[in-house]
């Protein structure tokens, strides 16, 4: 599998965040790599509060967090459908697991992943033996020890082989990497599936619809282009991403990111 991504897609004003926190991505153990994007580790010591904003990926996350002298805790974070805002202040540490779209269910077989969409809940509600895991992950001073604790936690819970999960991951990856995929019906036909079968697969294993995934990756693409290109041809980009016109792209971008694309670019 590919090494952890180096891009900052989805992070609003990533350069400002990276100036304020220490952010790293780490590879999981070999048996986990087909199911995980990466581990993400953040530490901070801030003189004043800072709010970070993220347009979420179509991924489930397991997140271990500690703020100041407080007790560490773990959460399951289902796919966020709205702009996520995280307030950081003082001293803190977060160790997170980002699953590949479709990659979480082999660790929690049974419920459809859509059950967790839009929800954040204590990790013990999903993994009943999670007590003590937060301290094992957050406590070590050495980063390698934190990664090893994440590996140990996940390997204790699977993954359980599931061909449907493999299919969901492959299809979601295709949507991410193939910019010609713009319509669900065309995609389903190309994959030899009915639209309804594709929708059921994504609800059960990804947690959101294939249309939602297509739209979310469109916005991530537009965010990255706005951040990297000095003079974006918004009409041309709208057509490239499958929008009916520039106004449609502007409305969608503004709703998801919180500001119009030209303001974001500046």
CA angle 88, 92, 98 (to 5 degrees): 80
Q: What's the token pair of residue 158? A: 């699977």
Alpha-helical segments (H) within 139-209 = 143-155, 163-177, 184-190, 195-205
* 163-265: CATH class: mainly alpha
Backbone angles phi, psi at 226, to 5 degrees: -65, -35
- Tracing tokens 């999960």 back to the chain, one arrives at 165
Tokens of 157: 């819970």
CB-CB neighbours of 123 under 10 Å: 20
Strand-pair partners of 88 = 50
Could you tell me the CA-to-CA distances from 138 to 132, 134, 224 in Å, in that order? 10, 6, 31
Check: CB of residue 258 under 8 Å from CB of residue 235: no
Per-residue confidence (pLDDT) for residue 3, from 0 to 100: 63
Residue 169 and residue 257: Cα distance in Å, rounded? 26
Q: What is the CA radius of gyration of the chain?
A: 19
Place of tokens 């009915």: 194
* pLDDT per residue as tens, the chain (266 positions): 456 667 888 999 889 999 999 999 999 999 999 999 999 999 999 999 999 999 999 999 999 999 998 999 999 999 999 999 999 999 999 999 999 999 999 999 989 999 999 999 999 999 999 989 999 999 999 999 999 999 999 999 989 999 999 999 999 999 999 989 999 999 999 999 999 999 999 999 999 999 999 999 999 999 988 888 878 899 999 998 989 899 999 999 999 998 998 888 87
- Token pair listed for 241: 């991403």
pTM of the full structure: 0.93
Q: Using CA atoms, how far apart are residues 42 and 25, in angstroms rounded to an integer?
A: 9
Q: Could you tell me the residue ranges of all domains in the chain? A: 11-155, 163-265
Count of other CB atoms within 10 angstroms of residue 38: 20
């Amino acid at each position: 599998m590919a090494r952890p991504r180096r891009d900052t897609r989805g992070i609003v004003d990533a350069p400002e965040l990276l100036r304020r926190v220490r952010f790293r991505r780490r590879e999981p153990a070999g048996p986990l790599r087909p199911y995980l994007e990466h581990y993400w580790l953040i530490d901070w010591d801030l003189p004043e509060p800072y709010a970070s904003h993220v347009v979420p990926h179509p991924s489930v996350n397991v997140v271990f967090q500690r703020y100041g002298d407080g007790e560490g805790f773990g959460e399951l974070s289902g796919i966020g459908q709205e702009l996520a805002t995280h307030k950081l202040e003082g001293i803190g540490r977060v160790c997170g697991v980002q699953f590949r779209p479709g990659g979480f269910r082999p660790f929690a077989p049974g419920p459809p992943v859509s059950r967790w969409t839009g929800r954040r809940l204590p990790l013990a509600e999903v993994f009943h033996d999670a007590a003590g895991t937060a301290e094992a992950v957050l406590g070590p001073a050495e980063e390698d020890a934190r990664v090893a604790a994440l590996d140990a936690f996940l390997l204790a819970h699977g993954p359980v082989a599931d061909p449907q999960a493999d299919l969901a991951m492959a299809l979601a990856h295709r949507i991410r990497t193939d910019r010609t995929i713009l319509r669900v019906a065309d995609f389903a036909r190309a994959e030899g599936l009915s639209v309804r079968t594709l929708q059921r697969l994504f609800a059960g294993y990804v947690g959101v619809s294939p249309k939602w995934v297509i739209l979310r990756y469109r916005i991530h693409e537009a965010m990255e282009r706005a951040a990297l290109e000095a003079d974006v041809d918004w009409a041309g980009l709208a057509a490239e991403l499958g929008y009916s016109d520039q106004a449609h792209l502007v409305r969608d971008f503004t709703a998801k990111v919180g500001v119009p694309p030209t303001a974001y670019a500046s």
